[in-house]
Amino acid sequence: MQETTDSGPSGSKSRPKRALSFLRVQNAYAFIGLVLIVIFAWVFFVIEIEPQFYLQEGERARYAWDTFISQFIIGLAQGSIYALIALGYTLVYGILFMINFAHGEVFMAGAYIGFFAINAAEQSGFLESQTALAILLTMGVAVMGSVIVAILLERIAYRPLRGAPRLVPLITAIGASITLQQLFLRLFGSSPRTYPRISLFVGQGMWGCEPVDGTTVCEGIDLISKSYDVLIFNQEVRIRPFFFVILFVSLLLMSALWFFIQRTKTGKAMRAVAEDKDTASLMGINVDRTIVITFMLGAALAGAGAVLFALYNRQVTPFMGFIPGIKAFTAAVLGGIGNVPGAMFGGLFLGVAESVFPSALGLPNQLKDVVAFGLLIVFMIFRPTGIFGEVLSEKKA
């Protein structure tokens, strides 16, 4: 990880006398450290120091640690969904050097297909009796749906254009994105579909105890829908356990992907194809198949992310893929497109940043997208190829 390439595939080069070049940090971890220190210092300033100047007796500061902590946790959850989508962008980019603009729609497709699955489960009562299993099955169906859409996408819109100029697949990707959006709109209607409100209690008899009719009933903690007041770092914060579920599931999936790419034969084939398609095919790797698998992996993560997103947001529309898609792509670029850990980090960072920054900077929440893209631009100035640089996966030394 220490060896990061500083520029695109055309080879590393130093460019003379650039403004601000002395500010460019070569090492990714040093850069992250620097950014984190700056952010933390700013937050500390806003919460601890600034109020002393304007706060009257007995007034509450406009921004305090509890807000920060809850926003941070929400941001992590949001960010892990960005990261799941961003991985799809990054995998495809790493292998084909193209922006799969329709990836947001793959995500949307997963959410829709998941809706019909979970709706069927609700109608049949299965959701009530076997909640955890039903959710898992929903996720499985959604993943399958996303994967099918991605395979079709690759087969129809991208594969015939493998050798074309780079802008051409970008346009088919945009076309495919619009087509999918409109197709889902025409097929399933413009009114949003709503996921059922689900409660999944864990730890019955241990947690969530309340006195009922003189006896103490412990109904457990609802992992999905309810929010609880919790003490974190001595601050009372109201959070939904589901945020942690999202974070946990995402990290699990990302680790699985990481393992897959690093350890399995197919993963190695993917890395080989990313390095050099012609040589890989000479080595007996089926390039077409490897590319399809890459699309499938990205789609699977997006499908899983879509169900998590939909369980949290509950509303599903044909246009829901657009904004998360763009954000996730931004995250992928932030981390260094084509770079798997970069996408994970970029996603988490972007999620936290857009959740924490607007209020920390005293801006209206309306401007969170401006903050997100502003950050991207600032980062691009200092690290033009993303935080971790532009590689699919670093070569084993």
Partner 1 sequence: MMNQNNLRFGFLETNTLRYSFYAAIAIFILTLTGIFGTFAQRDVIQDTLSLDLVALVLVIGVPALVAGRSSQSDKPVITILNSAIAGLIAATAVILVVLLETIVPQEELMFVFNNYRPIIGGVATLGAGQDNLIMGILGLLALSLILGGIVGGILSLPQRWMLAILSGLGSMVIIGLMAGQIRNLVTPSDALGVVGAFVAGYGAGYATRTIANPWLRRLLGFIAGGAVGIVFLVLGNTGAFAQNGALLLGGDPSIIMGGAVNSSLTMIIGFGIVGLAGLIVTSASSFVHNSAIFLAVVFALLGMLNVQQRMTVIMAIVTFIAFAAATIFIPPLGTQSNKQYRTLSPQQKRSIDVITGVLALVLALVAPVFMGQYITNVLDLVMLYIIMGIGLNVMVGYAGLLDLGYVASFAIGAYTSAILTTPSIFTTGCIPFEPIADARYAEMCTGILTNWQGVGILTFWQAWPIAIVVSAFTGMALGVPVLRLRGDYLAIVTLGFGEMTRVLTRAQITAPVLGAAQGISPVPFPVIDLTSLNPDWYFELSNASTIYYLYIFSVLAAALVVWRLSGSRLGRAWRAMKADEDVAQAMGVPLVRTKLLAFGVSSAFAGLGGAIFAAQLRGIFPDSFTLLVSINVLSLIIIGGLGSIPGVVVGALMLVGLPEVLREIQDYRLLVFGVLLVVVMLLKPDGLIPPPIRQLSKQQKVPQSASPQPNTQ
Partner 2 sequence: MDQPLLNVIDVTKQFGGLTAVNSIDLSIKPGLIASLIGPNGAGKTTFFNCVTGFYTPNEGKIIFDDRPIQGMSTDKIAKRGIARTYQNIRLFGDMTVLENILVGMHHRLTAGMWRPILGLDRAEEADAITEAIRLLEFVGLEGQGDYMAANLPYGMQRRLEIARALASKPKLLLLDEPTAGMNPIETDTMMAFIRQLRDELGLTIFLIEHDMKLVMTISDQVSVMDYGRKIAEGTPKEIQNDPTVIAAYLGTNIEDEEMEAEA
Q: Which residues of this protein are in contact with partner 1, per CB under 8 A?
A: 7-8, 10, 13, 15, 18, 93, 97, 99, 116, 156-157, 160-161, 163-172, 174-183, 186-191, 326, 329-330, 333, 337, 363-364, 366-367, 369-370, 372-374, 376-377, 380-381, 384-386
- Does position 395 interact with partner 2 (CB under 8 A)? The reply is no
| Span interacting with partner 2, options 10-18, 255-263, 269-277, 321-329, rule CB under 8 A | 10-18
Query: Which residue matches tokens 């990054």?
Result: 90
Q: How far is the CB of 14 from partner 2 (least distance, A)?
A: 6
* From the list partner 2, partner 1, none, partner contacted by residue 176 (C-beta under 5 to 8 A by kind): partner 1
- Say if strands 193-194 and 215-218 run parallel, antiparallel, or are unpaired: unpaired
Question: If you ran DSSP here, which 8-state letter would residue 208 be given?
Answer: S
**Which of partner 1, partner 2, none sits in contact with 191, Cβ below 5 to 8 A by type?**
partner 1
16 binds partner 2 (CB under 8 A): yes
Report how many residues bind partner 2 under the rule CB under 8 A.
5
Binding at 168: pick from partner 1, partner 2, none (beta carbon under 5-8 Å per type)? partner 1
User: What is the three-class DSSP state of 260?
Assistant: helix
Token match 């599931």: residue? 249
**Token pair recorded at residue 294:** 């890459």
Q: Does residue 27 touch partner 2 according to CB under 8 A?
A: no
Inter-residue contact 278 to 107 (CB < 8 Å): no
Q: Which is nearer to partner 2, 26 or 204 (CB)?
A: 26
Cβ proximity to partner 2, 12 vs 286, nearer residue: 12
- The site partner of 56 among partner 1, partner 2, none (C-beta below 5 to 8 Å per kind) is none
Nearer to partner 1, 126 or 373 (CB): 373
Q: Which pairing describes strands 228-232 and 221-222: parallel, antiparallel, or unpaired?
A: unpaired
Residue 69 or 87 having the CB closest to partner 1:
87
Q: Which entry of partner 1, partner 2, none binds 12, CB below 5 to 8 A by partner kind?
A: partner 2
Please answer whether residues 236 and 230 qualify as being in contact, where contact means their C-beta atoms are separated by less than 8 angstroms.
Answer: yes
Q: From the CB of residue 363, how many other CB atoms can be counted at a distance below 10 Å?
A: 13
Q: CA 348, 354, 359: angle at the middle one, nearest 5?
A: 135
| 300 and 146 Cβ atoms separated by less than 8 Å | yes
Say which amino acid occupies 141.
V
Type of residue numbered 344: M
Alpha-carbon span 213 to 357, nearest angstrom: 46
Positions that interact with partner 2 (CB under 8 A) = 12-14, 16-17
